[in-house]
C-alpha cells in the first residue's frame, strides 16, 4: 500500500465574504499579500519535508488558476523545489492540466524534475476544471481532444529519440529533441485523478493507468470502479487494488472537540461545502466541456433546484446507461450542490455552509476525531474501496500551522501504522508493487470486483444518522 499526503495549499487569508458570494475562482488578486504568500509557500514546502520525516511514502501536488483555493498555480515549480529538498518520498502530481499549455515545454519540465529527484516523479494528467478554460483562454469544446493529443505527444517525446517533427491536429512542432529525458524508463508512472467522470475512468482502463478518486462519495466511487473493471475485462485483464487510489479527508487531534473545530474550518475548502464554492456553475461547466450525461444532469439540476432523484441510484450494471448517468450526476452534484441553494445574505449562507458539517461527517466526506475514533472509519473506507494508494487530504481552510503539524504527527504516530496493518490484512497492493494491467482474467473471462458497498452499508446500519 502507498500512503501519501495532500493539501490544496490555500491562501488562508482570502476574503471569506466575497468567496461565499462569488466563489473562489476570479477573486480579485488585490486581496493577495506577497508577505503572507511568502510565509505560506514556505510553510507548505516545510510540511512536505515533515511528511517525509514522518514516514509518508509520497507527497502530492495539484494546480488551479486564478483562485485563492490553491496557491499552487504552477505546481511544477513546487515539485522542482521538492525534488531538491526531499530524498525519499515520491512526488505525485495530480495533475498537470494538459489542455491548457504547451505539451513540449511540459515534457521538458517534468523530465528535469524526474532527473533532479533521481526518479521519484509520478506524473498525473487532468483536463483542468471548467474555470481553467477561461483562465487560459482554452476552447472547452476541444478540452478532451487537447488532453488526448497532449498526453500521446508527451509519451512520444519521452520515449522516441529526437530530433523529429510533429504535426498534430492541435499541436505543431518543427523540431522535437527534448533534453533531458526522464530517469525512469520508459517514462515516469502516470496516475490519473478524477471526480467521477466515467469517460476518464474508461480512458484509464484503456491506458492501464491507476485512477485516483478525489474524496468522492463512496457509493458512486464503487460504481466507477466497476465501470473501470468492465472495460479492463473487455481489454483482457483483471483489475486489482493497484488500479485504484483514493483521497480521504482525515483530521486528527488530541480531543474530539479539537478535531471537530479543525474539520469545521475545512467546510470552506476541499471536500466540505467549500468545494462547491470552487467556481460558479457558469465558470465550472462551460459549454462543450462536459459529457452529454453530465450536461443532462445539469439541465435538470439548474432549471429545477428542488428536483430530487426519485429512484434509488447505482442499481444498474456498471456499463449500463443508467449507471453511467448516475455517476455523472454524482460528479455534477459534488461540484455544485451548494449553488442551487445559494442565498444573497452572506451571513445566512455562511451559517448554512457550517450547518452541512454533520452531513459531511456522516457521509465520510471528512473523517475527524482522535486516533482511536478515526481508525474504524478509515477501515470502512478501505474495506469498501480497497485502494492500493491512499492519500490523506488535509489542512484546507484557516487552520493554524501548529494544529496542522500536530495533526500530521498524531496521524504518523498512531494512525498510519494501523492503516499499513489494514493494507496488509486486506492485501492492498499499490502500483509500485503490482504493475497495473498485469493480472490475468480468471473465471472464464468474468472480472472480479475490487470495491463493494457492503462494508459501507453495514456501517450505516450500525450507525444510523
Q: What is the pLDDT of residue 330?
A: 63
Interval 124-133: pLDDT, tens: 999 998 899 9
- Residue 190 contacts residue 163 (beta carbons within 8 Å): no
Of 50-54, 302-306, 326-330, 411-415, least confident by mean pLDDT is 302-306
- Residue 168 within a domain: no
Interval 159-204: pLDDT, tens: 999 999 999 999 999 999 999 999 999 999 999 999 888 999 999 9
- Residue 325 within a domain: yes
Residue 305 has pLDDT above 50, yes or no: no
**pTM (2 decimals)?**
0.92
Interval 25-52: pLDDT, tens: 999 999 999 999 999 999 999 999 999 9
- Residue 114 within a domain: no
Interval 75-88: pLDDT, tens: 999 999 999 999 99
Residue 237 has pLDDT above 70, yes or no: yes
For residue 392, what are the β-bridge partners? Answer: 5, 248
Of 228-237, 268-277, 369-378, 422-431, least confident by mean pLDDT is 268-277
Interval 198-210: pLDDT, tens: 999 999 999 999 9
372 CB-near residues (< 8 Å, 6+ apart): none
Q: What is the pLDDT of residue 328?
A: 60
- 210-247 core/surface letters (b: 16 or more CB in 10 A; e: else): bbbbbbbbbbbbbbbbbbbbbbbbeeebbbbbbbbbbb
Tell me the pLDDT band of 285, cut-offs 50, 70 and 90.
confident
Q: What is the pLDDT of residue 446?
A: 87
Closest CA to 324 of 447, 231, 190, 450: 231
- Residue 408 within a domain: yes
Helices 401-410 and 34-54: crossing angle in degrees, nearest 10, is: 10
- Residue 30 within a domain: yes
State which residues form the domain around 395.
2-94+191-462
Q: What is the pLDDT of residue 398?
A: 84
For residues 181 and 64, give the distance between their C-alpha atoms in angstroms, rounded to a whole number.
26
For residue 249, what are the β-bridge partners? Answer: 393
Q: What is the pLDDT of residue 288?
A: 85
Q: Report residue 149: phi and psi, to 5°.
A: -70, -40
- Residue 228 within a domain: yes
Residue that is written with C-alpha cell 495530480 in the block: 94
For residues 98 and 109, give the distance between their C-alpha atoms in angstroms, rounded to a whole number.
13
Q: Where are the alpha helices (DSSP H) in 356-415?
A: 357-362, 371-385, 401-410
Q: What is the pLDDT of residue 282?
A: 84
Q: What is the pLDDT of residue 313?
A: 41
**How many folded domains does the chain comprise?**
1
Report the share of the chain in percent with pLDDT over 70.
87
- Residue 115 within a domain: no
Q: Please provide the average confidence, as pLDDT, over all residues in the chain.
A: 89
CATH number at residue 52: 3.20.20
Residue that is written with C-alpha cell 484509464 in the block: 204
- Residue 106 within a domain: no
Amino acid at each position: 500500500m502507498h500512503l501519501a499526503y495532500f493539501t490544496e495549499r490555500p491562501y488562508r487569508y482570502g476574503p471569506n465574504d466575497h468567496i461565499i458570494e462569488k466563489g473562489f475562482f476570479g477573486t480579485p488578486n488585490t486581496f493577495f499579500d506577497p508577505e503572507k504568500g511568502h510565509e505560506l509557500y514556505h510553510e507548505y514546502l516545510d510540511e512536505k519535508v515533515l511528511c517525509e520525516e514522518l514516514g509518508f511514502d509520497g507527497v502530492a501536488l495539484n494546480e488551479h488558476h486564478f483562485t485563492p483555493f490553491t496557491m499552487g498555480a504552477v505546481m511544477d515549480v513546487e515539485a522542482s523545489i521538492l525534488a531538491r529538498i526531499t530524498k525519499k518520498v515520491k512526488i505525485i502530481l495530480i495533475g498537470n492540466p494538459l489542455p491548457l499549455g504547451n505539451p513540449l515545454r511540459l515534457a521538458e519540465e517534468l523530465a528535469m524534475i524526474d532527473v533532479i529527484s533521481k526518479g521519484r516523479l509520478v506524473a498525473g494528467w487532468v483536463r483542468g476544471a471548467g474555470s481553467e478554460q477561461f483562465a487560459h483562454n482554452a476552447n472547452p469544446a476541444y478540452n478532451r481532444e487537447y488532453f488526448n493529443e497532449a498526453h500521446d505527444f508527451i509519451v512520444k517525446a519521452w520515449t522516441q529519440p529526437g530530433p523529429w517533427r510533429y504535426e498534430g491536429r492541435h499541436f505543431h512542432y518543427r523540431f522535437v529533441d527534448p533534453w533531458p529525458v526522464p530517469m525512469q524508463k520508459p517514462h515516469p508512472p502516470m496516475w490519473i485523478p478524477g471526480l467521477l467522470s466515467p469517460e476518464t475512468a474508461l480512458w484509464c482502463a484503456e491506458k492501464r493507468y491507476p485512477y485516483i478518486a478525489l474524496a468522492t462519495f463512496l457509493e458512486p466511487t464503487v460504481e466507477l470502479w466497476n465501470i473501470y473493471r468492465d472495460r479492463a475485462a473487455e481489454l483482457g485483464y483483471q483489475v486489482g487494488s493497484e488500479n485504484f487510489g483514493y483521497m480521504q479527508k482525515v483530521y486528527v487531534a488530541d480531543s474530539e472537540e479539537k478535531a471537530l473545530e479543525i474539520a469545521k474550518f475545512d467546510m470552506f475548502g476541499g471536500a466540505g461545502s467549500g468545494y462547491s464554492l470552487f467556481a460558479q456553475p457558469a465558470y465550472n461547466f462551460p459549454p462543450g466541456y462536459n459529457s452529454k450525461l453530465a450536461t443532462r444532469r445539469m439541465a435538470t439540476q439548474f432549471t429545477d433546484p428542488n428536483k430530487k432523484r426519485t429512484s434509488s441510484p447505482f442499481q444498474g450494471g456498471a456499463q449500463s446507461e443508467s449507471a453511467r448517468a448516475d455517476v455523472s450526476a454524482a460528479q455534477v452534484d459534488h461540484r455544485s450542490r451548494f449553488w442551487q441553494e445559494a442565498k444573497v445574505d452572506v451571513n445566512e449562507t455562511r451559517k448554512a455552509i457550517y450547518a452541512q458539517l454533520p452531513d459531511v461527517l456522516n457521509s465520510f466526506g471528512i473523517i475527524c476525531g482522535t486516533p482511536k475514533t478515526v481508525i474504524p472509519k478509515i477501515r470502512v473506507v478501505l474495506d469498501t474501496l480497497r485502494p492500493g494508494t491512499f492519500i490523506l487530504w488535509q489542512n484546507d481552510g484557516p487552520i493554524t500551522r501548529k494544529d496542522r503539524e500536530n495533526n500530521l504527527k498524531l496521524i504518523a504516530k498512531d494512525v498510519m501504522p494501523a492503516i499499513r496493518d489494514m493494507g496488509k490484512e486486506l492485501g492492498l497492493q499499490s502500483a509500485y508493487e503490482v504493475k497495473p494491467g498485469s493480472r490475468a482474467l480468471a473465471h472464464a473471462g468474468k472480472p472480479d470486483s475490487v470495491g463493494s458497498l457492503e462494508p459501507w452499508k453495514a456501517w450505516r446500519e450500525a450507525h444510523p444518522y
